Amino acid sequence: MNENGMRMTPFQTKKTSPSELRQLIAEKEGRILRGLWPSSSLACGVPKSAISEISGTAKIEWLAQFFRENPTLIVFWAEEKYNLLPTAFSQRGISLNRFIFADCGKELFVTLRKALRSHVFNCVVAPNQFEEERPLKALQLLTERCHSSLILLTEEIKPKWPVCLQVEIDHAPSAAADDAHFLIRIVKNKRSHSIEPTVIS
Amino acid sequence: MRVAAIRLKKTPEEIGAFAEACLRFSPTLCVKRKGFVFIEIGSCHRLYTEENFLARMQVLLRRFELEATVKIADSLLESLILIEYGTLDFHRLPITSFIDFVEPFRVDVEVMEKTLKLIESLKKVGVQAVSQFLKIPLGELSARFGSVAVFLSSRIQKEIGVPWPLWIPAEKIIELREFEEREQFSTIESLLYFIKPILDRIFNRMYGRGFCVSSIRLQLNLEKFSFTKEPIREWRLEFMFPQTTSRGALPIFRERLSRDLDRKPLESVVQSLEFEVLQRVRNSKSQSGFFSSENTEEKLNSTFAQLSEGLDKGRVFRATINENPLPERSWKKCSEEQKAAPDLNDYIPMRPTKLLRRPEPVHIAKDTIFIRSRPYKILHWSNVEQISTDWIQSEVVRSYYRLQIAGKPPVWIFKENNDDYFLHGYYG
């Protein structure tokens, strides 16, 4: 009997989706440690060993909430031109001791590779300056091998196949000044069976 | 007391280097006898078992490219006898072992000669084993064989022990490696291949002594051909965080050497290389990783140092915050963790996540804000936050507002005394 209670013939087997097949192959090759970092506002969480891409007007505010909810994460935050205010992170309940920041300039890709290869950081945050898919593919392989999550911040989401999760995060219209309510739209999630964009508010 | 005796098959020129690395097991160490290292391990039985000690010793010997026999017994003398004669049974132990009983370190030649004479005399009267010697009445020993025999009898019966001589490790840590003709390298990776075991040895020595390396010098001595302008190439590395393993230091060497050798390659073949530890600091965590090689903080510091080596100084950093209300002065770049961060939420309103390096002038007309000449409708103004500093910090008086605007993240603007508005950050 299958999931729907239908009787299966001896030659009929349970259908496996392409994403499940990919996962099985990767697990056989020992490339992926499946899992996710939980988030109260994003039910699917942030995938481990994969690239996620976040856009929208509240992406950093949401990341601050995400890091507060995952206090064990060791984070490397790379910027092409540094303009973050660490005081804001501290005010949002994040310990800055587990953060290392980098003002990379043109050496963003090289620095990201080094940070991922170190196997120290559970999460690496960087601006998405990669127009071509080749560096993204390289970073995707590295994140898989190093079991860390690479979160790319972008202004506009474009279809890119090495990226596992693409999300648009905006401030909820009703959110008060200090309130962390977000309007989240999942554009793509490779690890989900649903292909329809999801809106979480 | 439990003592491990290590007899090295091939005595290295500088046994002190290996002995220094052995300090990780116990501070009670003896290297007075040539080719031997004695370690008192009994006091550390809660830290490691004898099996564990033997396994660790095997690894250490491999790192120093040494072969050795290791035996463990209840005293220095017993471990020495066991390793030299393979038994502690007095019936089987030959009288030639007397020389080790009397002078275990083989330093005093006069005493050794006296002992050899005693052995000859005993052989003449048919004494072959130690057990036979012990049967001779003590009263007769002095008269027939002299004071050495009395001393020997007391030593065998454990009435007189062997004092542990003081050993002080060398002040400077220097490792030298000379290359044969076939051991040449042309790439940075092959150079690192030779550097790795030397660094391993250095860090083992430092770990044994409870130190970590904060500054090190590498010198490559090149063959002096007529065209070699610089026969000695030297690098001094000052680690941002003191290093305890070659795993952390090697990538820093790779970074520095590849950068320098790309600019200025080696002009001739390398004859030898020399490392010298220039500066060391006490390793406060020398026992924390005793049972596990995983040490996240150590790895994080090491990665920090590697990333800093790749980028310019100050471009990889940690952040510490302070209670200054001015946003640009409320944090500082640093390389170390902040022990106790102040809680700002009680008296400083929520700051924006992004702060512009230089405030940008904006224009406000009724309910519209013009950012870089683009109009955005203002949806909401927050209450004003007045920030003023005293004249010592160069006087600043600003009125800050958080604005909700359409199609953009909330912005943080301020107004100065002259009613000009400036954009200072985003809540994005």
The CATH number that applies at residue B248 is 3.30.1490.100
**How many domains does the structure of chain B reveal?**
3
How close does chain B come to A88, measured CA to CA in Å? 5
Closest chain B residue to A95, measured at CA: B341
Specify which residues A15 forms β-bridges with: none
* Cβ–Cβ below 8 Å for A85 and B345: no
Lowest mean pLDDT among A9-13, A97-101, B37-41, B374-378: A9-13
By CB atoms closer than 10 A (0-12, 13-18, 19+), residue B306 is buried
How close does chain B come to A29, measured CA to CA in Å? 25
- Specify if B328 maps to a domain: no
Closest Cβ opposite residue A101 in set B303, B317, B348: B317
Q: How far apart are CA A91 and CA A120, in angstroms?
A: 25
Regarding whether B293 and B198 lie in a shared domain, the answer is yes
How close does chain B come to A21, measured CA to CA in Å? 34
Regarding whether B289 and B415 lie in a shared domain, the answer is no
* Cβ–Cβ below 8 Å for B300 and A110: no
Chain B residues interacting with chain A (CB cutoff of 8 angstroms)? 296, 299-300, 302-304, 306-307, 310-311, 315-321, 327, 330-331, 337-338, 341, 344-345, 348, 350-357, 382, 402, 407-410, 425, 427-428
How does pLDDT run across B352-383, given as a tens digit for each residue? 999 998 999 999 888 899 998 899 999 888 88
- Specify if B169 maps to a domain: no
How close does chain A come to B270, measured CA to CA in Å? 29
- Specify if B214 maps to a domain: yes
Average pLDDT over residues B164-170: 85
Regarding whether B15 and B123 lie in a shared domain, the answer is yes
Residues of chain B in contact with residue A74, where contact means CB-CB under 8 angstroms, are: 296, 300
Residues of chain B in contact with residue A126, where contact means CB-CB under 8 angstroms, are: none
H-only helix segments in B238-339: 246-263, 296-310
pLDDT band at A66 (very low <50, low <70, confident <90, very high): very high
Q: How far apart are CA B172 and CA B277, in angstroms?
A: 7
- Specify if B342 maps to a domain: no
Contacts of A170 (CB under 8 A, 6+ apart): A56, A57, A58, A182, A183
Domain boundary among B310, B339, B362: B310
Closest Cβ opposite residue A120 in set B303, B320, B348: B303
Average pLDDT over residues B256-260: 88
How does pLDDT run across B19-67, given as a tens digit for each residue? 888 988 888 888 888 889 999 998 888 888 899 999 999 999 988 888 8
Domains of chain A, earliest start first? 33-200 (3.40.50.300)
Regarding whether B114 and B257 lie in a shared domain, the answer is no
- Specify if B321 maps to a domain: no
Regarding whether B98 and B216 lie in a shared domain, the answer is no
Closest chain B residue to A116, measured at CA: B303
pLDDT of residue A51: 94
pLDDT band at A67 (very low <50, low <70, confident <90, very high): very high
Domain boundary among B310, B339, B372: B310
Q: What is the mean pLDDT of chain B?
A: 86
Regarding whether B215 and B273 lie in a shared domain, the answer is yes
Regarding whether B253 and B118 lie in a shared domain, the answer is no
Domain that holds residue B223: 174-310
% residues pLDDT > 70 (chain B): 95
Regarding whether B381 and B287 lie in a shared domain, the answer is no
Domain boundary among B156, B182, B212: B156
- Specify if B332 maps to a domain: no
* Cβ–Cβ below 8 Å for B319 and A83: no
- State the amino acid at position A183 in one-letter form: L
Q: How far apart are CA B242 and CA A104, in angstroms?
A: 24
The residue ranking higher by pLDDT, B176 or A174, is B176
In degrees and rounded to multiples of 5, residue B398 shows phi and psi of -135, 150
Chain A residues interacting with chain B (CB cutoff of 8 angstroms)? 57-61, 64, 74, 83-92, 95-97, 99-105, 107, 110-111, 114-115, 118-121, 171, 177-178
Regarding whether B44 and B85 lie in a shared domain, the answer is yes
Regarding whether B407 and B303 lie in a shared domain, the answer is no
- Specify if B335 maps to a domain: no
DSSP string computed for A14-54: ----HHHHHHHHHHHTT-----EE--SS-TT-EETTSEEEE
- Specify if B226 maps to a domain: yes
Average pLDDT over residues A158-175: 84
How close does chain A come to B352, measured CA to CA in Å? 6
pLDDT band at B337 (very low <50, low <70, confident <90, very high): confident
Regarding whether B182 and B142 lie in a shared domain, the answer is no
Cβ-based contacts under 8 A for chains A and B = 125
The alpha-carbon radius of gyration of chain A (Å, integer) is 18
Residues of chain A in contact with residue B354, where contact means CB-CB under 8 angstroms, are: 60, 83-85
pLDDT at B137 > cutoff 90? no
Residues of chain A in contact with residue B334, where contact means CB-CB under 8 angstroms, are: none
Regarding whether B184 and B152 lie in a shared domain, the answer is no
